[in-house]
């Protein structure tokens, strides 16, 4: 008789292992009867929380093995578990603390047959290295501590708003790299914990895990000298603290494929192929893929592959050429090991043009196989595509024209992009990505270059376009990004914008634009540290995006990290020397540092235009020349009252004039000045956060009254 079998499913999930600390000593101290009664109460507590936080019990020994769909659910369970253990300790008179380990990874699951369960088998089985990693983290943890791997910590932190902390502040710490017993590779260990309850310190080393790369005592002073030297020469760091990001082995930049057709008009085609490969490779798990904005800056570069790889922070480059003649296309693709220029894989393809999409998929699969990566399976993620649903190549070509025009960033190019997206929609009326891009570009053009009736009509068209995009494809990240922009920049519906931005990132967790989209709305709701973290993540895959460095500088300055803010704005300036508002941001940093002379020097470097006037006005308010300060503010108020009311309020805040500050904030709101969304992240305006008018104004414009930004001292 054949043995009955059940399907084994491979999936990505979040595993949590918890273990009561010193349970053996508890047994010895209380005796079996009393200890078992207390442990039973503990088990009821843990199971009740699992039901509340969408967890499933897999196994039970001294602790629990729980399975969750999302890391944020696991962290929410852990925070509630530690709180209720503390309450149980008070009620029982016994100090109960537990260790928790959380990891998100690949496992195999299966449901046991009913007859097996009847004989004592668990209803569900989970096997895989991920289970061992969670268990080792729990063993490494200090009593009362929750440790996570990077995969779990990064996703949980993005959904921090879902984690209830009982009013306590939730902290996230990176404790470094640990060798865990029985595991072949070291693991980056993070901690999530509430201030006043969790240890919030490194677990140290023990028999279950040791800190990777711990120097012997004799080398400690030498190592410290090296670290200080690195900081002195301006080392940049991405995590909180001076930790340099090594180039991951599984990382690639798709350089713009050369156009070998002899027809400059075919450049859109070759760029479109490169863009498609970037989008496709971005959906593979564990693969860092540099975005178009940064990768395309190396078009026709004379730099070596090693120099490009170092500049972009990748180990591999995918490059090639495209030649389209009539109905045929020839594509050559080569995957290069960046440090030594060795070729890992190369192939030439001669195909009919009508087979373009199949050919793109073939190149993507070959590159992914060479890089040894698998398709993205993060919880909530959906494979994204910017291809027309009809497969019409003319619609796709028009769409790619729109993307290329968008990247130029001028009023004329925005209109050309709008025309191109409209043409793509005419060819394929169900082209959701084209509707989404049409909406975003229409909003950006109207906000930057239009006003009055023109802008109102543009916003109406943008709203209709994004509604259509979402109706056609509710799981399109681009469409949710477009709606977030509309809600934030036009409707000033900050909370609605955050919901859409979170949805966009959940659908496409590797999309740098989605990461920065959530960063951009976060300060409006007082979550400035989250904005900085998300901006850093986005810059890892778009490391030459000058505007994002500018915003990162703003977020860092708003949280009192002036040295890092200064480094970020200097990077932005180096990438875009003539960019508007860069030196204005530098001037504000110097104001916050208390250096009026440096602020004025920075303001003078701002290119002519409104931002130069704003920078000079702000810098002069903190300097010794009061007559010049009065004159600059008077000119700014007369010439730019309609488009710089918020910045005028900032100037009055620097003058310690709350009456005028709030008067100009009201004017900014009546003008629907976009600067209002900076209210909770602006150290200048936050000087008056304890003034009752501040909370009243925040409530009026739909913002919460709390923030993690730091106010400039009065």
Q: Quick one: DSSP state of residue 375?
A: B
Q: What is the pLDDT of residue 571?
A: 92
CATH classification at residue 150 = 3.30.70.1230
Average pLDDT over residues 177-201: 85
Query: In terms of residue numbers, what domain contains 361?
Result: 247-377
Q: What is the pLDDT of residues 680-699, one digit of tens each?
A: 999 999 999 999 999 999 99
Between 324 and 620, name the one with better pLDDT.
Answer: 620
Which of these, 466, 467, 470, lies nearest to 441 by C-alpha position?
466
Residues 381-399 have a mean pLDDT of 84
Q: What is the pLDDT of residues 102-136, one digit of tens each?
A: 998 777 778 878 777 777 777 888 888 888 899 99
Q: Note whether 425 and 409 are within 8 A (CB).
A: no
Q: Output the pLDDT for position 698.
A: 92
Average pLDDT over residues 608-636: 94
Which of 377, 393, 423 is the last residue in one of the domains?
Answer: 377
179 and 263 in a single domain? The answer is no
**In sequence order, what are the beta bridge partners of 254?**
318
pLDDT, tens digit, 9 for 90 and up, residues 321-371:
888 877 888 888 888 889 888 888 888 888 888 888 888 778 877 777 777
List, for residues 459-493, the tens digit of each pLDDT value: 999 999 999 999 999 999 999 999 999 999 899 89
Give me the pLDDT at residue 127, please: 83
| 66 and 15 in a common domain | yes
Which is more confidently placed, 151 or 8?
151
Instruction: State mean pLDDT over 515-539.
Output: 90
Is pLDDT at 295 greater than 70 in this prediction?
yes
Q: Which of 125-129, 528-532, 655-659, 668-672 has the lowest mean pLDDT?
A: 125-129
331 and 208 in a common domain: no
Of 351, 377, 403, the residue that ends a domain is: 377
Task: Answer whether residue 596 shows pLDDT above 90.
Answer: yes
Residue 89 in domain: yes
Are 56 and 185 members of one domain? Answer: yes
- Has residue 622 been placed in a domain? no
Asked if the model's pLDDT at residue 554 lies above 80, the reply is: yes
Looking at the whole model, is its pTM more than 0.75? no
Whether the Cβ atoms of residue 253 and residue 317 lie closer than 8 Å to each other: yes
Q: Which of 40-54, 289-303, 341-355, 661-675 has the lowest mean pLDDT?
A: 341-355
Query: Which CA distances in Å does 450 have to 436, 454, 712?
Result: 20, 6, 34
The answer to whether position 129 is within a domain reads yes
How far is the C-alpha of 175 from the C-alpha of 94, rounded, in Å?
30
Residues 280 and 209 in one domain: no
Domain assignment present for residue 342? The answer is: yes
371 within some domain: yes
The verdict on 16 and 123 lying in the same domain is yes
| Number of domains observed in the structure of the chain | 2
442 against 300, higher pLDDT = 442
> Is 108 part of a structural domain of the chain?
yes
Contact between 145 and 34 (Cβ < 8 Å): no
Same domain, yes or no: 203 and 264: no
Instruction: Give the confidence band of 218 by pLDDT, cuts at 50, 70, 90.
Output: very low
> Kind of pairing, strands 288-289 and 209-211?
unpaired
Which pLDDT band, with edges at 50, 70 and 90, does 293 fall under? confident
The pLDDT of residue 239 is 35
- Cα separation, 497 vs 519, in Å, equals 11
Q: What CATH number should be reported for the domain holding residue 357?
A: 3.40.50.10610
| pLDDT at position 383 | 72
Q: What is the mean pLDDT of the chain?
A: 84
Which range, of 30-44, 199-213, 351-365, 501-515, averages the lowest pLDDT? 199-213
Indicate if the pLDDT at residue 48 is higher than 50: yes
Does residue 254 share a domain with residue 180?
no
Pairing of strands 98-111, 124-127: antiparallel
Q: Are residues 60 and 162 in the same domain?
A: yes
Q: Per the domain annotation, does 576 fall within a domain? A: no
* Residue 211 predicted with pLDDT over 80: no
Shared domain check, 283 and 137: no
> Which residues, including other chains, have CB under 8 Å from residue 278's CB and lie 6 or more apart?
254, 289, 290, 291, 292, 295
Last residue of a domain, one of 377, 397, 430: 377
163 plus 283 within the same structural domain: no
HSE at residue 535, side-chain half, CA atoms within 13 A, is 28
Q: Higher-confidence residue: 374 or 449?
A: 449
pLDDT (0 to 100) of residue 378: 54
Q: What is the pLDDT of residue 684?
A: 95
* Average pLDDT, integer, range 205-227: 43
| Paired tokens of 503 | 């949805």
The yes-or-no verdict on residue 237 having pLDDT over 50 is no
Tell whether the model's pLDDT for residue 244 goes beyond 70.
no
pLDDT of residue 714: 67
Distance of CA 238 to the CA centre of its chain: 12
Judge contact between 707 and 587, C-beta under 8 A: no
Residues 211 and 251 occupy one common structural domain = no
Residue-wise pLDDT tens digits, 264-281 = 767 777 787 888 888 888
* Pairing outcome for strands 98-111 and 9-20: antiparallel
pLDDT exceeds 60 at position 230: no
Closest among 144, 160, 238 to 195, alpha carbons compared: 144
Q: Is residue 63 in a domain?
A: yes
């Amino acid at each position: 008789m054949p043995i009955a079998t059940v399907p084994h499913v491979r999936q990505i999930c979040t595993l949590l292992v918890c273990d009561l600390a010193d349970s053996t000593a508890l047994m010895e101290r209380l005796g079996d009867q009393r200890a078992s009664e207390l442990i039973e109460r503990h088990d009821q507590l843990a199971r009740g929380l699992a039901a509340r936080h969408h967890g499933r019990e897999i196994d039970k020994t001294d602790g629990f093995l729980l399975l969750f769909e999302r890391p944020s659910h696991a962290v929410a369970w852990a925070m509630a578990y530690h709180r209720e253990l503390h309450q149980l300790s008070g009620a029982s008179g016994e100090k109960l603390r537990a260790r928790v380990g959380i990891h998100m990874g690949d496992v195999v699951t299966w449901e046991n047959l009913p007859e097996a369960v009847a004989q004592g088998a668990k209803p569900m089985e989970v096997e895989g290295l991920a289970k061992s990693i969670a268990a080792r983290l729990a063993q490494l943890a200090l009593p009362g501590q929750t440790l996570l791997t990077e995969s779990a910590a990064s996703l949980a932190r993005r959904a921090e708003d879902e984690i209830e902390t009982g009013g306590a502040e939730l902290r996230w710490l990176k404790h470094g790299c640990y060798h865990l017993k029985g595991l072949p590779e070291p693991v980056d260990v993070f901690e999530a914990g509430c201030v006043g309850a969790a240890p919030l310190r490194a677990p140290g080393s023990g028999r279950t895990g040791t800190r990777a790369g711990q120097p012997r005592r004799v080398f400690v002073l030498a190592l410290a000298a090296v670290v200080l030297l690195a900081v002195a020469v301006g080392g940049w760091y991405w995590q909180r603290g001076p930790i340099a990001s090594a180039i991951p082995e599984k990382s690639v930049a798709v350089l713009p494929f050369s156009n070998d057709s002899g027809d400059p008009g075919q450049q859109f085609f070759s760029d479109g192929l490169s863009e498609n490969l970037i989008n496709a490779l971005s959906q593979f798990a564990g693969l860092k893929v540099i975005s178009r904005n940064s990768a395309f800056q190396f078009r026709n570069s004379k730099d070596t592959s090693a120099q490009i790889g170092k500049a972009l922070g990748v180990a591999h480059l995918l490059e090639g050429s495209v030649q389209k003649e009539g109905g045929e296309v020839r594509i050559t693709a080569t995957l290069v090991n960046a440090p030594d220029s060795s070729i890992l894989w190369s192939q030439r393809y001669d195909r009919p043009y009508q087979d373009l999409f199949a050919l793109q998929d073939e190149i993507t699969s070959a590159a992914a196989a060479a890089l040894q990566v698998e398709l993205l399976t993060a919880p909530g993620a959906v494979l994204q595509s910017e291809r027309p649903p009809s497969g019409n190549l003319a619609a796709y070509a028009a769409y790619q024209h729109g993307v290329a025009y968008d990247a130029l960033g001028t009023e004329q190019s925005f209109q050309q992009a709008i025309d191109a997206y409209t043409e793509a929609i005419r060819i394929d009326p169900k082209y959701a990505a084209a509707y989404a891009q049409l909406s975003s570009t229409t909003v950006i053009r109207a906000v930057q270059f239009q006003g009055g009736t023109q802008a109102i009509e543009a916003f109406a068209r943008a709203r209709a376009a994004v509604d259509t995009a979402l109706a056609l494809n509710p799981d399109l990240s681009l469409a949710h990004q477009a709606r977030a922009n509309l809600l934030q920049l036009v409707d000033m519906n900050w909370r609605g914008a955050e919901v859409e931005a979170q949805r966009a990132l959940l659908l496409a967790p590797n999309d740098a634009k989605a990461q920065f989209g959530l960063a951009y709305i976060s300060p409006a709701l007082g979550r400035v540290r989250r904005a900085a973290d998300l901006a850093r993540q986005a810059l890892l895959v778009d490391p030459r995006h000058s505007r994002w460095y500018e915003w990162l500088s703003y977020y860092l300055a708003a949280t009192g990290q002036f040295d890092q803010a200064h480094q970020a704005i200097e990077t932005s300036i180096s990438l875009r020397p003539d960019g508007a508002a860069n030196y204005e941001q530098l001037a504000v940093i110097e104001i916050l540092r208390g250096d009026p002379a440096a602020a004025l020097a920075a303001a003078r470097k701002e290119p002519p235009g409104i931002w130069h006037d704003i920078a000079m006005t702000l810098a002069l308010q903190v300097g010794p020349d009061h007559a010049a300060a009065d004159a600059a503010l008077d000119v700014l108020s007369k010439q730019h009252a309609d488009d710089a009311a918020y910045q005028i309020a900032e100037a009055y805040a620097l003058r310690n004039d709350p009456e005028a500050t709030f008067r100009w904030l009201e004017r900014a709101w009546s003008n629907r000045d976009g600067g209002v969304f900076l209210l909770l992240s602006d150290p200048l305006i936050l000087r008056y956060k304890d003034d009752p008018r501040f909370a009243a104004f925040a409530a009026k414009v739909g913002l919460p009254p709390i923030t993690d930004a730091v106010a400039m001292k009065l």
